[in-house]
Structure 1
Amino acid sequence: MEMQNRLAPQKTQKEQAVKYEANGMEITLTPQIVRNYLVSGNKEAVTMQELAMFINLYKFSKLNPWAKEAYCIKYGSEPATMVVGKEAFQKRAEANPAFDGSEAGIIVMNEETREIIYRIGTVKLPGETIIGGYAEVWRKDRSHSTRIEVSFDEYAGRKKDGSLNGQWSKKPATMIRKVALVQALRETFPSAFGGMYTAEEQGEIEPEYTTVPEAPHEIIEEPKETTKLESLESEKTENADSVQDVAAALFGK
């Protein structure tokens, strides 16, 4: 009789979902949706704590994951990195009634004359070395602009051998200009961009998607049958305190 009770099938609870609105669209996320659709790299290694952090980034910043406004990057056993796309910064700034335009470009040095030149855009001429990027943002309710200058060597992503990696080797001017622009936007509108950082600022490479990930049609998994014995075996591999912490972080329970 005891064995029968232990093997009696029990229904698992539905995976809880977080719902919020972003740009007039209702977004529903669960840890499984984020793991399956919104993680770049080693998605199987992402922990529940990292998934909770990622969902909260979307929820409290009102970001739309299906518009590539933010995503999670996970490599090996390194902590997952939560990053926001540059377009999300620009769209949010443009939606602010106080926004009054911006300018961004690169800082180069002429290798022969050693002259330092500030150039709008990303055009680098032969005989020039990129040493940084700059950006300036204006607000209608301020008498002065916010200007940021960043060093190329400080932010350029590099491999272990010291050579530039990924997009930093292909588009160095574009990358450093992007770093300067998002920093200027964040300082100009701190309440809109607090806690939001791009991949380039964190030494990561922004994923290159050929298409926008499609939102899943079934967003909440149906409960499945399991046995109490299977549940007990599963619990051995999980940290109960960790699960409670994640639930509290996500759902306030």
Structure 2
Amino acid sequence: MSNALAKIEFSQEELVVIKKQFFPAGGSPAEQQYCFAVAKELGLNPITREIYFVPRRQKINNQWVEKIEPMVGRDGFLSIAHRSSQLAGMETTANIQEVPQLVNGRWEYRKDLLAECRVWRKDSDKPFAVQVSYSEYVQKNNDGQPTRFWSEKPETMLKKVAESQALRKAFNIHGVYSPEEMGAGFETAGGDLVVSPSIEAEFSTVPDRGKEPGPEPAPNEADDGWPPIGPTPKQGDQPKGEYTLADIANMLAAKSIKYELDEDCGYIAAKSFTHKDFLKSIGFRWEPEIKSWVWTGMKEAA
């Protein structure tokens, strides 16, 4: 059974783009070298959102240690599988079953949502199977409730975990994990990574500038780590609620506001604390669950 992965080489121009736009600010040369080496070894391109470089804050012996780790979305693992020419099929199901859970120090059978993924290879007569449970992987807010997307799309999120694990198992991929598995957030249909607020103390998309993690400030009490852009450009007489996704994306780009676009779901999530009034004026609303301003084409309530 062949497990060889096609490596990738980045040109100097690509490396410049990756370092500037896809590598977190503040990363050391050693971290860059490590992350790029993983990407090359797996044959995954960060420019096409096949692999992400995620800043992680981890508390060790009461000290916060910062590091940047590569993470691969389910589609990145699927890309490796397709390039191997050995993928013969994949089937993922989800249903409710009774599973053993440890409750107050005792094992009990309780109902849980389970996702199972089976991956077939052309050079193997048996599938590689993985089962994962909702209670083990659900991402939660600080109040202990499931985050918005784990609440609204639990089956979709859990299937991504099962598929990532089954593809790694079938194609002998080691050392990298998906954001859904690690509680780091989730990958949108457009290939962007939305960081989970429940682990914001450990993961961040914003340069830390040496501060200890603390409570999330109100939207108008902190900045997003990027320099101020200047006055809001005139948007014409078009009323909010009548913009298209393209209109909103263009306006955000004009102010250099970082955003994540999901055309399938029809929304844009923007990460900025210094442009509150501007974002509200074009129809964004603050979503505390994902610590982002979100636009869905609907007018903001007065």
Say whether the fold is shared (TM-score over 0.5). Answer: yes
Quote the Cα distance in structure 2 between the aligned partners of 1:21 and 1:75: 26
Quote the Cα distance in structure 2 between the aligned partners of 1:170 and 1:47: 38
Q: CA RMSD in A?
A: 2.9
CA contact (8 A) 1:34 1:51 kept: no
3-state SS of 2:119 partner: strand
Quote the Cα distance in structure 2 between the aligned partners of 1:157 and 1:78: 21
1:107 aligned residue (92, 95, 104):
95
- Deviation (angstroms), 1:142: 1.6
Partner of 1:134: 116
Quote the Cα distance in structure 2 between the aligned partners of 1:27 and 1:189: 27
Partner of 2:84: 96
Aligned partner letter, 1:188: A
Structure with the greater alpha carbon radius of gyration: 1
- Deviation (angstroms), 1:204: 0.5
Partner of 1:223: none
Partner of 1:200: 180
Q: How big is each residue's C-alpha offset from its partner over 1:40-94, in whole Å with a ceiling of 9 and x where there is no partner?
A: xxx3343333222211111221211111101112256643332112112112212
CA contact (8 A) 1:45 1:74 kept: no
Partner of 1:250: none
2:145 aligned residue (126, 150, 163):
163
CA contact (8 A) 1:108 1:132 kept: yes
Quote the Cα distance in structure 2 between the aligned partners of 1:58 and 1:152: 29
The change in CA–CA distance for 1:139 and 1:44 in structure 2 (over 3 A counts) is closer
2:30 aligned residue (43, 49, 53):
49
CA contact (8 A) 2:42 2:80 kept: no
Q: How big is each residue's C-alpha offset from its partner over 1:138-195, in whole Å with a ceiling of 9 and x where there is no partner?
A: 12222211111012122122223211225323322111101101111111110xx222
**TM-score normalized with structure 1 length:** 0.57
Q: How big is each residue's C-alpha offset from its partner over 1:185-215, in whole Å with a ceiling of 9 and x where there is no partner?
A: 111110xx2223211111101315328xxxx
- Deviation (angstroms), 1:130: 5.3
The change in CA–CA distance for 1:79 and 1:156 in structure 2 (over 3 A counts) is farther
Tell me which protein shows more helix as a share of its residues. Answer: 1
The change in CA–CA distance for 1:140 and 1:183 in structure 2 (over 3 A counts) is same
Quote the Cα distance in structure 2 between the aligned partners of 1:194 and 1:69: 16
Gaps of 5+ in 2: 1-5, 58-64, 100-110, 187-192, 195-259, 263-302
CA contact (8 A) 2:86 2:121 kept: yes
The change in CA–CA distance for 1:21 and 1:79 in structure 2 (over 3 A counts) is closer
Determine which structure has greater relative contact order: mean sequence separation of CA pairs < 8 Å that are 6+ residues apart, divided by chain length: 1
Quote the Cα distance in structure 1 between the aligned partners of 2:11 and 2:41: 12
Gaps of 5+ in 1: 1-19, 116-128, 212-253
Aligned partner letter, 1:202: M
Quote the Cα distance in structure 2 between the aligned partners of 1:54 and 1:70: 10
3-state SS of 1:72 partner: strand
3-state SS of 1:157 partner: coil
The change in CA–CA distance for 1:96 and 1:34 in structure 2 (over 3 A counts) is closer
